Amino acid sequence: MPAAGAGPARPVAPGPPPRPVMPVHPSVSSSAPRIPRYGTSTLSAVLPGAAAALGVRLPLPAVELPAAERVCVVLVDGLGYRQLSEHRRSAPFLATLLDGGGSDPSDPSGPSGHSGERGDRDGGGDVLQAGCPSTTATSLGSLGTGRPPGSHGLVGYEVLDPGSGRLLNELRWSPDVDPVRWQPGATVFEQVAAAGVAVHSIGAPEFDGSGLTEAALRGARFHGVRRWPGRVDAAIELLAEPGLVYAYWGDVDGAGHVYGPGSSAWRRELRHLDRGLDRLARSVPHGTVLVVTADHGMVDVPHESRLDLAERPDLTREVRLVGGDPRLAQLYVEPGAGDRVAGRFADEAGDRAWVRTRDEAVAEGWFGPVDAAVLPRIGDVLVAARSQWAVVDSRTTPKTLLSLEGQHGSLTPEEQDIPLLTTVVH
């Protein structure tokens, strides 16, 4: 989804006619959820690593990056590790970083560091996990605070605001909810800026001061730029001086949602992204560390494979609100009804989803350690899709969202695994 600092950005070009849905990868049907290993193996460790590279060590898990005067972190919405690996021919610059070495996604030890040499740049490729749920609002919360979702409190696309009893869309926000009260912890940007380092954020103009930006990414000087080449230009200009520069791009995600990950429209956006990143790496000063990562991956979800709750009153009995994402629905139920609702959804989903009560998901570590104030925001029952399946409610979901081909949010490797690609410019 488009995110804070991003906006609609460059319109996605019209794509081809509908294509056959990609076959299910064996890992999508894995028998166990890919529960994030919170710490240095997740997205939350990226900005603390950038801070440490700049000499600002924070009491947070951090990926290892070489010391530098300039660090540029680029977050590409929707560019999962597995999708990038499969379509590496569309991204020759990123492919060189993938080839730099790194960790196996199935290796529990996490990122292995950065090695390899390619001409005038040193770097490497590793795999991180997005966090739960694998959705933009949550991932930006993890990125911006350096903490897991259970701590920063941005726990889904739409979640319960316990104060009002209504759903809060954490991507689009609400004027009734103070983002600093919702997420009061200091962001990484605030802490780095307080240490005297220049911090810049590049995104769409309309997201300067938005709710999600203020909750997750406050503390940076915001630069509103619409198109991708302009964002690259802005990053090059800002990196003429020492500091931390963060840039976001959302059109790969947009193409994946509309046409499906791996479609010709998606590959076209990937090529466009790759050209800009290559130019960025060729244009910044000696010693600059460039980091490219993502907020989540994506899977195809055929329309005939979706459970529409509008057609199943038997399942929605005792359900007050349906939040979360289609790939990780969060159900808010009547008091005492959690086990019954979970049982009904487990029977319906079978091997198409992992169904947990909130207490079970928290005990399994889906969100990391959960603060008391955050706990009631999480659904009483969680339905995490494990195949090409999703839960929707056509009574409340806009038709534009119902029409989307690509989806994300769950605990499959296709959605959880994200790249950590680094290069040091020489």
- Read off the pLDDT of residues 205-230 as tens digits, 9 standing for 90 and up: 999 999 999 999 999 999 999 999 99
State the Cα–Cα distance between residues 110 and 38, nearest whole angstrom: 10
**pTM of the full structure:** 0.89
- CATH number of the domain where residue 219 is located: 3.40.720.10
pLDDT, tens digit, 9 for 90 and up, residues 49-92: 999 999 999 999 999 999 999 999 999 999 999 999 999 999 99
72, 208: one domain? yes
248 falls within a domain? yes
176, 267: one domain? yes
pLDDT, tens digit, 9 for 90 and up, residues 341-367: 999 999 999 999 999 999 999 999 999
295, 308: one domain? no
- How confident is residue 108, by pLDDT bands cut at 50, 70 and 90? very low
State the Cα–Cα distance between residues 195 and 235, nearest whole angstrom: 21
- CATH number of the domain where residue 397 is located: 3.30.1360.180
Q: What is the mean pLDDT of residues 372-399?
A: 97
- How confident is residue 30, by pLDDT bands cut at 50, 70 and 90? low
The residue whose two tokens read 């076209």 is 268
Q: Give the chain's mean pLDDT.
A: 91
Lowest mean pLDDT among 95-104, 300-309, 319-328: 95-104
Specify the 3-state DSSP secondary structure of 76: strand
Q: What is the mean pLDDT of residues 358-381?
A: 99
106 falls within a domain? yes
- How confident is residue 3, by pLDDT bands cut at 50, 70 and 90? very low
pLDDT of residue 117: 32
353 falls within a domain? yes
pLDDT of residue 411: 99
State the Cα–Cα distance between residues 220 and 209, nearest whole angstrom: 11
- In the structure encoding, which two tokens stand for residue 91, read together? 């991204």
59 falls within a domain? yes
pLDDT of residue 100: 81
pLDDT of residue 218: 99
The residue whose two tokens read 């490219």 is 292
- How confident is residue 9, by pLDDT bands cut at 50, 70 and 90? very low
349, 268: one domain? no
Share of the chain above pLDDT 90, in %: 86
323, 369: one domain? yes
121, 226: one domain? yes
198, 342: one domain? no
Is the confidence at residue 289, as pLDDT, over 80?
Answer: yes
318, 365: one domain? yes
pLDDT, tens digit, 9 for 90 and up, residues 259-288: 999 999 999 999 999 999 999 999 999 999
pLDDT of residue 81: 98
The residue whose two tokens read 């993890």 is 142
163 falls within a domain? no
Lowest mean pLDDT among 107-121, 231-245, 253-267: 107-121
Residue 80 identity (one-letter amino acid): G
pLDDT, tens digit, 9 for 90 and up, residues 116-129: 333 345 566 899 99
- How confident is residue 114, by pLDDT bands cut at 50, 70 and 90? very low
- How confident is residue 43, by pLDDT bands cut at 50, 70 and 90? very high
Is the confidence at residue 235, as pLDDT, over 90?
Answer: yes
Tell me the CA end-to-end span of the chain in Å, nearest whole number. Answer: 35
Task: Say if residue 240 is exposed, middle or buried (CB neighbours under 10 Å; 0-12, 13-18, 19+).
Answer: exposed
253, 336: one domain? no
Task: Say if residue 14 is exposed, middle or buried (CB neighbours under 10 Å; 0-12, 13-18, 19+).
Answer: exposed
Of residues 422 and 104, the one with the higher pLDDT is 422
Report the C-alpha dihedral over residues 249, 183, 42, 269, rounded to 10 degrees. Answer: -10
Q: By the 8 A CB rule, do 314 and 424 touch?
A: no
State the Cα–Cα distance between residues 79 and 241, nearest whole angstrom: 29
Is the confidence at residue 368, as pLDDT, over 90?
Answer: yes
294, 380: one domain? no
Is the confidence at residue 7, as pLDDT, over 70?
Answer: no
Q: What is the mean pLDDT of residues 20-29?
A: 41
Range of the domain at 96: 34-132+143-150+172-299+413-425
98 falls within a domain? yes
233, 311: one domain? no
13 falls within a domain? no
pLDDT of residue 125: 87
Is the confidence at residue 322, as pLDDT, over 90?
Answer: yes
Q: By the 8 A CB rule, do 344 and 383 touch?
A: no
What is the count of structural domains for the chain? Answer: 2
Long-range interactions of 108-114: CB distance < 8 A, separation 24+ = 108/37, 110/37, 110/39, 110/40, 110/41, 111/40, 111/41, 111/63, 111/64, 111/420, 113/64, 114/64, 114/65, 114/66, 114/422
29 falls within a domain? no
330, 266: one domain? no
